[in-house]
Amino acid sequence: MATRRTLPSASTFTSALQVYANRAEVSRLSTGSHRLDQLLGCIEPSRFYLLFGSGKEKISDRLLYRLMVETIKKSTGHVIYMLCGNYRRDRTTFDSEMLLGLLEADDLDVEASLGRIHIIGVFSEAQLMNAPTLVEETIKQVGNVRLITVQQISKLFYSESAIGFEDRTEFTGIISRLKELCTLHQISLVASCEAKRKRSLNPEPMGGSYLRHAVNVMVYLREMKGGEVSAQLVKHFDKMRAGKRVRLNGEEEEALGRITRDSMRGRIQDQMRHLRGGYREALKQDMMQTAFDSVWLDWNTEQGAMIYAQVVSVLDLLNLTGVLANRREITALKQRVEALENRDAD
């Protein structure tokens, strides 16, 4: 007699919808730049991010320091910072002055903040091969690690000044082990490195094909005139290639909330003039244009409130004010209707 097979009551597969729902609930880290966060979708745990650029500019290294400070500022977790530099040639230095300046600029307790940043220095290929073990020991010791940053992750094995005592294949084991630790403990991994010194429309990081394959997100950073930085998204696990111009010095329009009242007022007024000259004239119905003029008056009256609001986008502020104006008119109409109904009842 044939036996009937019983199927499991619950599916062992996870739907794409459930995956995205789970990702939406995950706490992400900020780079300190609103525009860069938009480009990257912030920094997710268990993901490997690679920031690379010109060896002269070191923009990617500077961004690592800002990311560490943002993590300390907005979470209770710890940060592991790994410095890769050959002590014989082409040194990579720890910029303590920059780190302290960023901590002080954000009014953080310097001593307490530094106590949550754990530094691992590696100065040879052999030391880098042992670094994942040191990282694992630190994670077990402090417990709540939110971020691992690696400054110049590929320099010891791939730079022109690399000594070459160890086989480059050992580099793949280092990357694999760091990724494994981050996946196991839900930690974000962000590293910097230099770009290959060749002219190409598609910039590539220095670190071999395995590094390019292993990372989840790659961003090419290039310094522009006027203090701006061009951020080009080269690779992302669920985003298309794109680019943005950002500022990493705390003066970005939509970055760190350090916008002066005068500059915010100017942005609001510019956007208002743009909408009045273009959007209003494109409205086909006279009643819509009249409604716009009414909302314009409320915008003009409530500029002071919008300037002090903790909302970044000017359009969001204008829309919020318009919504409030609509609510005011609806309330007034309801009061009139209620008054008319009460009069008829009498």
The answer on 108 and 233 residing in a single domain is yes
Q: For the chain, what is the domain count?
A: 2
Q: Is residue 209 part of a domain?
A: yes
Asked if the model's pLDDT at residue 134 lies above 90, the reply is yes
Q: How far apart are CA 296 and CA 279, in angstroms?
A: 12
| pLDDT tens track for 152-208 | 999 999 887 777 788 889 999 999 999 999 999 999 999 999 988 765 667 889 888
Enter the pTM of the model: 0.68
The answer on 242 and 144 residing in a single domain is yes
The answer on 136 and 233 residing in a single domain is yes
Range list of H helices, 75-109? 96-105
Domain containing residue 88: 26-246
The answer on 280 and 206 residing in a single domain is no
Q: How far apart are CA 161 and CA 164, in angstroms?
A: 9
CA angle 196, 159, 68 (to 5 degrees): 85
Q: How far apart are CA 344 and CA 346, in angstroms?
A: 5
Out of 189, 212, 246, a domain closes at 246
Q: Is residue 256 part of a domain?
A: no
Phi and psi torsions of 151, nearest 5°: -85, 120
Question: Which strands form 229-235's sheet, in the order they lie side by side?
Answer: 117-122, 78-84, 145-151, 188-194, 48-53, 217-223, 229-235, 242-246
The answer on 317 and 188 residing in a single domain is no
pLDDT of residue 192: 95
Identify the helix (H) or strand (E) that includes residue 135. helix 125-142
The answer on 191 and 99 residing in a single domain is yes
DSSP assignment, residue 254? T
Average pLDDT value over all residues in the chain: 81
DSSP assignment, residue 226? G
Q: Under DSSP, is residue 75 helix (H, G, I), strand (E, B) or coil?
A: coil
Decide which of 40 and 243 is more confident: 40
Asked if the model's pLDDT at residue 253 lies above 70, the reply is no
Measured torsion, CA atoms of residues 308, 24, 238, 146, in degrees rounded to the nearest 10? 80
Q: Is residue 143 part of a domain?
A: yes
Looking at residue 228, which CATH number applies to its domain?
3.40.50.300
Q: How far apart are CA 252 and CA 269, in angstroms?
A: 19
31 Cα distance to chain centroid: 4
The answer on 195 and 302 residing in a single domain is no
DSSP assignment, residue 187? -
Q: What is the CA radius of gyration of the chain?
A: 27
Q: Is residue 6 part of a domain?
A: no
Q: Is residue 58 part of a domain?
A: yes
Out of 215, 246, 277, a domain closes at 246
| pLDDT tens track for 196-242 | 876 566 788 988 889 999 999 999 998 887 678 888 999 998 888 77
